[in-house]
Amino acid sequence: MSDELYELEEEEHTSPLTAPVFKRIVGLLRPHGKWVVGFIITIALTSALDSLFTYINKSMIDQAIVGKNLEALWRLASIYGVFQVLQAGMVFVFIYLAGVLGERIQYDLRRSMFEHLQELSLSYYSQNAVGRLMARVTSDSGRVADLMTWGLVDTTWAFMNITTATIFMLVINWRLALIVLAILPILIIIAVNFRKKILVEFRNSRRANSKITGAYNENIQGVRVVKALGREDENLVEFEGLTDRMYSATYRAAWLSALFLPTVQIITSIALGFIVWYGGYQALGGFLTIGGIHAFVSYLTFMMWPIQDLARVYAEMQHSIASAERIFTLIDTKPEVCNKPEAIEAETLLGEIEFEHVNFYYEDRKPVLTDFTLKVQPGETIALVGPTGGGKSTIVNLLCRFYEPSEGVIRINGRDYTDYTLHSIHDKIGIVLQTPHLFSGSVRENIRYGRLEASDEEVEAAAKLAGADDFIRTISKGYDENVGEGGNLLSVGQKQLISLARAVLSKPELFIMDEATSSVDTLTEALIQKGMETLMRGRTSFVIAHRLSTIKRANRILVIEDGRIAEMGTHAELLRAGGHYYRLYTQQFKFQRELEYSAAALLPVSE
């Protein structure tokens, strides 16, 4: 991932708190209202008991210890013990509720995002990096869930501690309570200012860490290029620069963090000294007891930690708000290609297919297809050839309705294909891509992905038709062999044959082959061609190929240049015409012959 992308990610993490976003975050709690109410009540009671314990301690000092009343001591100690047991039970309950509530919120967010990602158009994935989408589903959802659970725990606990401590102090001695409350704004201002400065350094540290992660990723993935070009030393120098910046930022954050607590403690100590002095003065006058002085000291300590917690929660809230904004932006994104309200199911795609004056532009308005018109009869095989970037893949992407025409119309069975539901179109199309994608799991599971309800016998029959059965039976576990992540335990040709078998199993009415033989050897190409012939029999097919040997038997060959049909005809007709196709074919044949001569020249001469 580039530095610019990491910089953008970090800028997004500094988004300010906005009321609509916060309101929407709180709305995530609505489906779990009973859990939330129980959660908040349990935390509030647990926190209130902390202040009550201090008041009981005051009573024990004044009534039992100073008053030398053994009966009062036993009574207050028993009450203290009962409440301790009750608080322990409440702590268990609210921690349990926090864990469940957090997982439920995270589940809701991840499900909503995953479900919406299935509906978004291909253009969205072209414009957004996979890593950023993964971050939304994983880290961003976790951060929002933490805010709504543990952030709520800390906030409720802090406010309850401050509120109940204030109430008990006012009950004990309102004059001294007002003096203590006058100190609180000073502590809050110091805490907030320190947190802001620490947050800046942590952001710098995180930004540097993101770049370090990117450097790791690029160097590991590109290790062959690094070694081939001898870039190890230069990369090490760049990496040291990144780690130095991270160390400096982390050092400053650690220094500020270390300074923060002593500063708060000094102010608190001054406040405590004043409480002891003024409390003692009040005690001499009979306005305050020894237990009351002890209670004030404890209540001030209660207030110090919540203030720090609130400052920390506020800083974390900024990150959670930014995470929520990114999640909601994803969920609110409308797919460019979607069903009409009155869309119907397409019963079949076996009829005539027509492109009528189709123009297509991407966002930059640069034309990819211009006035493209074509009629395809049922069962016809159409081959698309031409230079890279000419618009071949765009034609099949439009046909699959991954995109829709900017202008013009595509008709299937005489009807605008946007009148049909997306699922009914996709369900009847089989596609084999240039770079086949296999999912983690077995060979059998990957083939069955074409039709999940297929039996083992149907899976193996599809593999035989596709020409994949022979190689599958040669590997150790056969159809139960694990293909690895992305199929990396298999060769490109083997992955392509499995991908073809998957298409065979889906029994498509419309078949599309997009550069499926461009990266395989001649023997595998022959196997794929044989499987293609089986699959295309009786089906309308579109084949994109750079290797022109794979399309000789097509009913029509279209030469696509600059988004237009430059030539159209059969293989023989186009060769006789001596135009674009003839030049492409002869150049490719000449290049292949030159490769063969070069390879022969390298062979040793036999004596």
Poorest-confidence range of 249-258, 334-343, 372-381? 249-258
Whether 149 and 56 map to the same domain: the answer is: yes
- Which CATH number belongs to the domain containing residue 202 in this structure? 1.20.1560.10
pLDDT in the model for residue 605: 46
Whether 461 and 560 map to the same domain: the answer is: yes
Cβ contact 407:343 at 8 Å = no
165: in domain: yes
- How distant, in Å, are the alpha carbons of 122, 123, 479 from that of 363? 13, 9, 44
pLDDT in the model for residue 12: 45
pLDDT in the model for residue 593: 52
| Spatial separation of the C-alpha atoms in residues 14 and 21, rounded to whole Å | 14
Cβ contact 330:136 at 8 Å = yes
Is the model's pLDDT at 489 over the cut of 50?
yes
Please, which residues bridge with residue 382 across strands?
542, 556
pTM of structure? 0.68
| Spatial separation of the C-alpha atoms in residues 371 and 302, rounded to whole Å | 75
Query: Per-residue pLDDT tens for 549-602?
Result: 667 778 899 999 888 899 999 988 888 888 888 888 787 665 555 544 444 444
- How distant, in Å, are the alpha carbons of 72, 314, 509 from that of 4? 69, 28, 45
For the segment 372-382, the average pLDDT, to the nearest whole number, is 90
3 state DSSP class of 123: helix
Between residues 87 and 205, which one has the greater pLDDT? 87
Is the model's pLDDT at 198 over the cut of 50?
yes
Over pLDDT 90: what percentage of the chain?
A: 10
Domain boundary among 302, 332, 362: 332
pLDDT in the model for residue 15: 46
pLDDT in the model for residue 356: 93
For the segment 336-353, the average pLDDT, to the nearest whole number, is 86
Query: What six digits make up the tokens of 522?
Result: 């001649």
Domain count, the chain: 2
Query: Per-residue pLDDT tens for 103-123?
Result: 888 899 888 888 888 888 777
Between residues 387 and 384, which one has the greater pLDDT? 384
Q: What's 337-386 look like in SS3? A: CCCCCCCECCCCCCCCEEEEEEEEECCCCCEEEEEEEEEECCCCEEEEEC
340: in domain: no
| Spatial separation of the C-alpha atoms in residues 25 and 30, rounded to whole Å | 10
208: in domain: yes
| Spatial separation of the C-alpha atoms in residues 383 and 558, rounded to whole Å | 6
| Spatial separation of the C-alpha atoms in residues 342 and 420, rounded to whole Å | 9
The residues, ordered by sequence, that sit 6+ positions from 173 with a Cβ below 8 Å of its Cβ are 279, 282, 287, 288, 292, 296
pLDDT in the model for residue 305: 73
3 state DSSP class of 62: helix
Whether 298 and 376 map to the same domain: the answer is: no
DSSP state of 420: B
54: in domain: yes
pLDDT in the model for residue 9: 47
Whether 328 and 374 map to the same domain: the answer is: no
pLDDT in the model for residue 19: 67
The count of C-alpha atoms lying within 13 angstroms of the C-alpha of 285, restricted to the half-sphere facing its C-beta, is 8
- How distant, in Å, are the alpha carbons of 21, 57, 166, 296, 306 from that of 272? 41, 18, 15, 9, 17
Is the model's pLDDT at 277 over the cut of 90?
no
- Residue with the two structure tokens 């202040």: 51
For the segment 419-423, the average pLDDT, to the nearest whole number, is 89
| Residue range(s) defining the domain that contains residue 517 | 353-602
For the segment 358-366, the average pLDDT, to the nearest whole number, is 80
3 state DSSP class of 429: strand
Whether 250 and 378 map to the same domain: the answer is: no
For the segment 172-197, the average pLDDT, to the nearest whole number, is 79
